[in-house]
A and B are shown apart, each in its own frame.
Chain A
C-alpha cells in the first residue's frame, strides 16, 4: 500500500456518510462499515468466501477532491481521507434499478421481495421469464463448494442471460458430498429447490470433482 493509505499505527482514516471511521490494514469499506454498525445491503457477500462483486447492491460513492466514482464496498480498499457515501443519488439509482430488475428475474423469492420493499421498490415493469425462479446467480453456492468444501461439484454454465448454476451436463454429479453448504449460503430458496438435481446417488459419491 502507498504511503498515503497509512494513517496512525497503519490504520486508515476516512469518512462514511460524514462519520469519521478507521479501518485496519486490509479492511474493505464494507468491513469498516459493519464494524461501525453502518448498514449497507448485500446479496452475494458472505464471510465464508471471497467476494466476487456480482450483485453490485453494496455500491457506495467514493469521493476525493473533485473526483468521484461508484464502487462496490465489499471489495473497495479505502484510501486515507476518502469520503464514502452510502446513500447518494447515484447509489440510490443503481440500487433501485437492480432491485426492480431482480423482482422480474426472481419473482418467487420472498427474500428479494422483502429487500426491494425496504428500498421502496414494490413492482416491476420488466418481463418475467419464469415465475418460479429464485436464483439470481450470486455465485455463493459455486464459491463455497470450491473454496470451503473443495469438491467443486457445481459451476456456472453458458454466459450472459443464459448463464445458470448447474452440474456438468445437467446430470447429478457424484462429486457432490451432499454437505448442504450451498443451501446454507444461498440468500434465497433457489438452491433448496434444485438441490436434488445436483447431488447424485449418495452411495456413489466420490468426494472429489475429478472425472473418474
Chain B
C-alpha cells in the first residue's frame, strides 16, 4: 500500500532525543490551541453508522459558509471516543460540546449555529434519560464523568494516521526518556514496581514475565522476541480494536520501550484479520515512525535498533492463545502445545518470547513517563492501573469505557452504563468472554479487579462486559459460548474436541426440555474432566460459563428440565409465538412475512398462528408494527 511517508514529506530522521523535543515544540507552536476543531469519530462502529458522510457534509458546509481563514475549524477524523450507542459522534474542541446521532443533514446547522454563532444545537445534545435535561459538555455527561481516561487519553483527540498530531500530544516522550536516561534494568524495574498485570485475560504480572525472559535469554544466549497479541477474539470485546485504530503510536511506543528493556531487536504484531482498519492504521504508523527514526535502525541516534512486522490472523480464535499464536507466526496451523516450559523461555522458534496484549503494551509509556508510584496509586493494590472495558448488550450506554480497577460492578452498569433499558436492573453481567462467567445481580457490589472477579467464579478476561436482562436465558448463553468454542477448537486434544461436543449434547437436551435433573451433576463432572484434561486454556476454561451459570442460576436450568419452560422466552424448542387478539389490527403483514404461511385470519380481524407449523423464525414479530406478537 502506498502511503506518503513522513520522511518524504518532512525532514530527516530525528537523530536524538533533543531533536524529537525540538520537533515537538515546533509542531505545538504551529498549532493554535484556540482554533476550533471538529472531531468526527471514524472508529469502526461510527464508520458503520455513516460518520464519513457526516465529515464530508461538514466539510462542504464549511466551504459554503466561506468563513474567514482565521476561524475555519479543522475537521479531524479520530478514533473511538467510546460512546458508541450515540454515534455518529461529533465533538467540538476546545469547547467540549458533544453532539450525538449526527446525520449529514445536520452539518449546515452545526456550522451556522455552533461555529458561526457560538451556540449549541439543542436537539443534537445528550439528554439525561430521567430528567430530559440537555448536557452540552462531554465531561459532564455521566457516561464520561465517572470514567478515567488514561490509556485512551488521546483517542478521540488525535488523528491516528498523522504522527505529527501524536507527537504534538506527547507521543514518544516516554521512549526518549527510557532510551536516553534509563538503563534497560531500570525500565524493567519500573514496570515491575507499577504492578501492571497482563490485560489480555490471565493477569500475569508483566514485570515478572519480562524478567523470566531476560534470565532465559542470558542463560541460553539467545535473542528475545517481543510480540503483540492483537488477536482480540472474545466476541463482544473491541477494546484493542479501538486502541490499535485510535492510537497506534501508543502501542508502538510501548513495544519499543519493552524491546529496549529486554534487549530485543525483532518484534511481531499479530492482529486479527477481522480488524482491517486497525491493520491499516498500524501500517501507516510504522511507516511514519520509521521515517522519523523512531523505529528501525539507530532509534533517536542512541544506537538501539528494533523493528517489527505485522502478522495477520487468519480466522482462528485459538490463535489468541500464546503457543498457537506462535505456531501461526511460524506459518503452521494454530495448534497449542503443552506449556510445561514457559513461552518466556521457549516461545517463537523455541526462543525466549514475551507476548503481551495490546492494552498491556499501551500502558508502558504511561508508566515510564509518570513513574511506577503514580501508576500503582491508580486502581487498587494487586490490580493497579485502569482497564478498558467494552460495555455491550442490554445496557443504555453501549460503548468503550475506561475505569480505575476496583469500581463496583453495579456502579459501572448504573452510573456509566445508564442502567438497563426497560428494566429496573440487570440479571447478570458476563465477563471474561468464553472463558469467563456470569455475575448475578445480587453480587453487584463485586469490585471489578482481577482477584474479586475470579473469586466470584468469573474472570477479568480481555474486558468484554456483556449485560444481560430478563429476556436473556443463561442456558442459551452457556450454549452459545460452548458452540463458539466447539467451532474454534483446534481439535488436537480429546477433552476439548470431544468434551465440548459432549457438553453441548447435555445443554441441547436441557434447552429442548429433555434431559433429567440428575444430568446436571453428570454435566458438572464432565465439565471438571474437560477443565483438568484439556491441553490449553481454550478447552480448560470452556466449562466456565456452564459452571458459573449452574452456580448462580440453577433454578433456571431446572425450570427448563422439569417444566419444559424457558422463563426468558429464548430457547426455540420451548417457546411459542402467539398473536394477542387485543393488539392485533388484522393488517395481515405477519401472514405475508411468514415463510411457513401458517398465519391465517380475515382482514381487520385478529390473526392466528398455526402452532403445528410454526418454526419460531420470528419474522412475524419483526414485521408487526403493533407489538401484537408475543413470546411465551
Per a CB cutoff under 8 Å, which of A52, A93, A163 touches B528?
A: A93
Please name all residues of chain B whose beta carbon is closer than 8 Å to the beta carbon of A76 when the two chains form the complex. 340
Q: How far, in angstroms, from A161 to B526 measured CA to CA in the complex?
A: 18
Query: Is there a chain B Cβ closer than 8 Å to A151's Cβ?
Result: no
Please name all residues of chain A whose beta carbon is closer than 8 Å to the beta carbon of B525 when the two chains form the complex. 93, 97
Q: List 30 A-B contacts (CB under 8 A).
A: A52-B492, A53-B338, A53-B492, A54-B493, A55-B494, A56-B493, A70-B533, A72-B338, A77-B340, A93-B529, A94-B529, A94-B532, A96-B529, A97-B495, A97-B499, A97-B526, A98-B494, A98-B498, A101-B502, A104-B502, A105-B498, A126-B505, A160-B486, A160-B487, A160-B488, A160-B489, A161-B501, A163-B490, A163-B491, A163-B492
Q: Are A70 and B532 in contact (CB under 8 A)?
A: yes
Range, interface on chain A:
35 or more
A40: min CB distance to chain B, Å: 14
Q: Are B492 and A90 in contact (CB under 8 A)?
A: no
Say yes or no: A53-B337 contact (C-beta < 8 A), given A161-B489, A161-B501: yes
A12: min CB distance to chain B, Å: 14
Query: Is there a chain A Cβ closer than 8 Å to B535's Cβ?
Result: yes
B532: min CB distance to chain A, Å: 4
Per a CB cutoff under 8 Å, which of B333, B488, B494 touches A156?
A: B333
Query: Is there a chain A Cβ closer than 8 Å to B42's Cβ?
Result: no
Q: Are B533 and A136 in contact (CB under 8 A)?
A: no
Per a CB cutoff under 8 Å, which of A71, A102, A161 touches B491?
A: A161
Q: Are A59 and B532 in contact (CB under 8 A)?
A: yes
Query: Is there a chain A Cβ closer than 8 Å to B364's Cβ?
Result: no
Please name all residues of chain A whose beta carbon is closer than 8 Å to the beta carbon of B333 when the two chains form the complex. 156, 159
Name B532's closest neighbour in chain A (CB-CB).
Answer: A70
B525: min CB distance to chain A, Å: 6
Q: Are B340 and A127 in contact (CB under 8 A)?
A: no
Query: Is there a chain A Cβ closer than 8 Å to B92's Cβ?
Result: no
Residues facing A in B475-515 (CB within 8 A) are: 486-495, 497-499, 501-502, 505
Give the interface centre of B488, B497, B529, B535 by most chain A CB atoms within 10 Å.
Answer: B529
Please name all residues of chain A whose beta carbon is closer than 8 Å to the beta carbon of B318 when the two chains form the complex. 159
B346: min CB distance to chain A, Å: 12
Q: How far, in angstroms, from A96 to B525 measured CA to CA in the complex?
A: 10
Query: Is there a chain A Cβ closer than 8 Å to B316's Cβ?
Result: yes
Cβ-closest 10 pairs across A and B = A163-B491, A97-B529, A101-B498, A94-B533, A70-B532, A160-B489, A160-B491, A56-B533, A53-B338, A94-B529
Residues facing B in A73-101 (CB within 8 A) are: 75-77, 90, 93-94, 96-98, 101
Name B527's closest neighbour in chain A (CB-CB).
Answer: A97
Residues facing A in B519-534 (CB within 8 A) are: 525-526, 528-530, 532-534
Per a CB cutoff under 8 Å, which of B316, B494, B499, B502 touches A54?
A: B494
Besides the known contacts A54-B493, A56-B494, A97-B499, 17 further A-B residue pairs in the complex with CB atoms under 8 A apart: A54-B535, A55-B493, A56-B495, A72-B338, A75-B338, A77-B340, A94-B532, A97-B530, A98-B533, A102-B494, A105-B498, A126-B505, A137-B497, A156-B333, A159-B316, A159-B333, A163-B491
